[in-house]
Structure 1
Amino acid sequence: MDKIKHLKCSKCGKTFSEEVMYHCDDCGIEGTLDVIYDFEVVSKKLNREYLKSNERKDLWRYMPILPVESEKGIAPLQVGWTPIYKAERLEKLLNIKNIYVKDDGRNPTASFKDRASAVGVAKAIELDKKVICAASTGNAASSVSGFAACMGIENYIFVPANAPEAKITQLLIYGSHVILVDGDYDTAFDFCLKAVDHFGWYNRSCAINPYLVEGKKTAAFEICEQLNFDVPGKVIMSVGDGCSISSVWKGFKEFYDLGLIHKLPQMVSVQAEGSNPVNRAYRKGLRSFEYETPNTIADSISVGIPRNGYKALNALRESKGIAIDVSDEEILKAMTALARYTGVFGEPAGVTGFAGLQKMVREGLVDKDETVALIVSGSGLKDVKSAMKAVQKPEKVKPDLAELIKYINK
């Protein structure tokens, strides 16, 4: 494609043609690739006039800077252009002038991962791939499962055995071949890679396929447009493998390089204390990752080795970012606080970023005049069992008015 210059290794910087399917031949799977565009070509189509006149309200409005050539593989599902809310009650609670909450739980399978799957499935169809697969803790799995079902592509999903039942049920409803792996996410990921090598399936895993993050970056484009190109000072995200924060940073950088915005945000990586390999490496100034067995209620960001860790580190370093760790207790409290102050019900991983914002406010890391944007990456209905841990079960009340009065007074 004329609009793509080359692919570039996030670890060593080596460049490749588009014929390379997944990763750097020198760095192996650690060398995840970035899609680098020719901005001179892209800018001929993608400008403010184009955006203003474009009536399409989904991620495909950004086709000039997405890695697909035609609409052949585009699913009819509504992906992207999710709502962003000015959270006035949160602003008063936290004493911050401008807080915006972008609810990506409103995507077709109720998570941010739909952005990646929309592009992944379209790319698979463009490349004439007959089978697509992925390793996932749940959201990416249900996402690719739904899009593959919509477009009639056979798919295999490798899921760790401890994935939430609701997410596994989604896969079965969509008709996926579910490989329930006896092990954690890292085990499922490695097993999926072996299957790809053996069967030649198309790997949708965002942590290995360079084209998947191209879908996720559109959240940054939307934030720019929805805020009238006034870029937030901080963009706060829950982080696991590092795919999401690096892709959103890429989106902001591309709009900046196209001259559509005139400043860049500071990226904030929020990880669970029991699963924080990206943050540990960033704080220590390392370019490698130390494995620790992940342990967190936030299953969607539970990783031992971040498979897109180098891209995440690049995003944090380039943006002079902040790394914040939060406890599972803080995550559960964030679920109820976000829901009660904004009406947005997020799953544990989806609200981890908000837990990080609360902690940053307590530690004086956010100026009260700043503009802050949060991306809630998944619906709370994805993991109702965890949500139940965050609230107190109500007592039974007899259908008697006197009993009700007594209960209310109590």
Structure 2
Amino acid sequence: MSQTNPIDHILHLKCLICGKTYAPDEIAYVCPDHGADGIVDVEYDYDLIGRRISQGDLLYNTNYTIWRYKPLLPIKRDSKVPPLTVGWTPLYRTRRLADELGLKQLWVKDDGRLPTASFKDRASAIAVIKAQEQQAEVIAVASTGNAAAALSGLCASVGQPNIIFVPETAPPAKIAQLLVFGSQVMLVKGSYDDAFELCLQAAAKYGWYNRNTGYNPYMTEGKKTVSYEICEQLGWRAPDRIFVSVGDGCIIGGVHKGFKDLLELGWINRMPKLMGVQAAGSAYLYEAWQNDEDVLTKPPIKAATIADSISAGLPRDRLKAMRAVRETQGAFISVTDEEILAAIPALARPTGVFAEPAGAAAYAGLVKAVNEGL
């Protein structure tokens, strides 16, 4: 491997279905033996990483973005990063909310402060770098809104052409944002899942770099940075539980991966329980968890929820999402659209933190968990 641009801290990519491993340059996205279902995990050489970065190093690192953790990310050491400030969002201690719910401590991680106002900027920043490492002319993604906006904004910051596939039912305001950033937008007659499939086909045919969640393994690696930040902001202590809104499953999979990295490095001493919160109208993973169903054989559902950013009839990162909950002894929770809408002001009024429905779903799940004694 080149000594000028090494990615020698990656051991291999491992298929979550069959366990087969591949060199990073051997496959583009998924295990060829299983097609689009063959999601792979990026596995690292933690001994090597531990020699390149330490908690002590971070004490003196004034780069308060996700790039402070660059040795833990799947990119070349000298890769240029987008100029937008991604990461190191506030972690607020919310005493009033904690008191209302009878909890000793409660914290809110506010990723609404990111450049395009959503968590998805973390993954899109990695997508832009990986695409440019491969000298891709175009990046493509399918999204109901937030991932599209994230990619659109990050691409605009570096002049990277991109094509966005969105269902025609996507909120007009989110589509307008894409056009403002200069993206080429493809409105798909159908659901998010239809847009996802069309994006896969088009990217493969035309050689575009594919940012699709649950297909591109490196998106998990961008999203895991939130776990690093949470632990560092808490003085390298892991929380007891983390409530995460779940649609495709990539975010909760990324949160899990981040904590696994920190455990392997010896920077924390325990894994928090991960609580996945799904909208009742898009509760594929909740149903599978409740009924002990195999997510590889469970058929898609028809998803319909006001929380468009977590609407997915077939969660593409379902293997990582289910693993995250089961391996941490967590749980999946289902909340109605009414509970999600009620959670928006219930979260905002005591904290000053505004969340769209997809983000507020996590708080709705916490409220339900407390009320039901989970």
Q: TM-score range by the shorter chain?
A: over 0.9
What are the equivalent positions in structure 2 for 1:227-246 lying under 5 Å apart? 227-246=234-253
Q: Are 2:53 and 1:43 aligned?
A: no
Matched position secondary structure for 2:96: helix
Q: Are 2:302 and 1:293 aligned?
A: yes
Q: Cα deviation per residue 1:248-288 (whole Å; 9 max; x = unaligned)?
A: 10000100100000011000000011101111112222222
What are the equivalent positions in structure 2 for 1:246-265 lying under 5 Å apart? 246-265=253-272
Q: Alignment partner for residue 371 of structure 2, among 336, 351, 362?
A: 362
Q: Are 2:100 and 1:103 aligned?
A: no
- The 10-residue stretch of structure 1 (251-260 or 72-81) with the greater mean CA deviation from structure 2: 72-81
Matched position secondary structure for 1:149: helix
Shift of 1:12: 2.4
What are the equivalent positions in structure 2 for 1:11-410 lying under 5 Å apart? 11-19=17-25, 20-288=27-295, 289-365=298-374
Matched position secondary structure for 1:324: strand
Please tell me whether the aligned partners of residues 244 and 362 of structure 2 are also in contact (alpha carbons under 8 angstroms): yes
Shift of 1:33: 1.2
Bigger RCO of structures 1 and 2 (CA < 8 A, at least 6 apart) = 1
Paired with 1:283 and 1:217, the residues of 2 have a C-alpha distance of 26
Q: Cα deviation per residue 1:213-242 (whole Å; 9 max; x = unaligned)?
A: 111000000000001112111011000000
Paired with 2:214 and 2:262, the residues of 1 have a C-alpha distance of 23
Paired with 1:359 and 1:262, the residues of 2 have a C-alpha distance of 28
- The 10-residue stretch of structure 1 (100-109 or 205-214) with the greater mean CA deviation from structure 2: 205-214
Paired with 1:38 and 1:122, the residues of 2 have a C-alpha distance of 21
Shift of 1:72: 3.5
Shift of 1:358: 0.4
RMSD between superposed Cα atoms in Å: 0.9
- The 10-residue stretch of structure 1 (282-291 or 20-29) with the greater mean CA deviation from structure 2: 282-291
Shift of 1:10: 2.0
Paired with 1:116 and 1:11, the residues of 2 have a C-alpha distance of 23
Q: Cα deviation per residue 1:24-56 (whole Å; 9 max; x = unaligned)?
A: 111111111111000011000121111112111
Shift of 1:316: 1.0
Shift of 1:127: 1.1
Paired with 2:270 and 2:198, the residues of 1 have a C-alpha distance of 42
Paired with 2:294 and 2:229, the residues of 1 have a C-alpha distance of 31
Please tell me whether the aligned partners of residues 73 and 123 of structure 1 are also in contact (alpha carbons under 8 angstroms): no
Paired with 2:14 and 2:140, the residues of 1 have a C-alpha distance of 24
Give unpaired runs (5+ residues) of structure 1. Answer: 366-410
Paired with 1:128 and 1:171, the residues of 2 have a C-alpha distance of 23
Matched position secondary structure for 1:292: coil
Matched position secondary structure for 2:51: coil
Matched position secondary structure for 1:205: coil
Paired with 1:229 and 1:236, the residues of 2 have a C-alpha distance of 19
Please tell me whether the aligned partners of residues 11 and 43 of structure 2 are also in contact (alpha carbons under 8 angstroms): yes
Matched position secondary structure for 1:331: helix
With normalisation by structure 2, the TM-score equals 0.96
Shift of 1:295: 1.0
One-letter amino acid of the structure 2 residue matched with residue 181 of structure 1: V
One-letter amino acid of the structure 2 residue matched with residue 341 of structure 1: P
Shift of 1:92: 1.2
User: Could you say which residue in structure 1 is the equivalent of 2:3?
Assistant: none
Shift of 1:71: 4.4
Please tell me whether the aligned partners of residues 171 and 178 of structure 1 are also in contact (alpha carbons under 8 angstroms): yes
Matched position secondary structure for 1:98: coil
Q: Cα deviation per residue 1:117-160 (whole Å; 9 max; x = unaligned)?
A: 00110111111111100000000001101111111111000001
Q: How many residues align?
A: 365
Q: Are 2:14 and 1:5 aligned?
A: no
One-letter amino acid of the structure 1 residue matched with residue 318 of structure 2: G
Matched position secondary structure for 1:44: helix
Paired with 2:153 and 2:341, the residues of 1 have a C-alpha distance of 28
User: Could you say which residue in structure 2 is the equivalent of 1:405?
Assistant: none
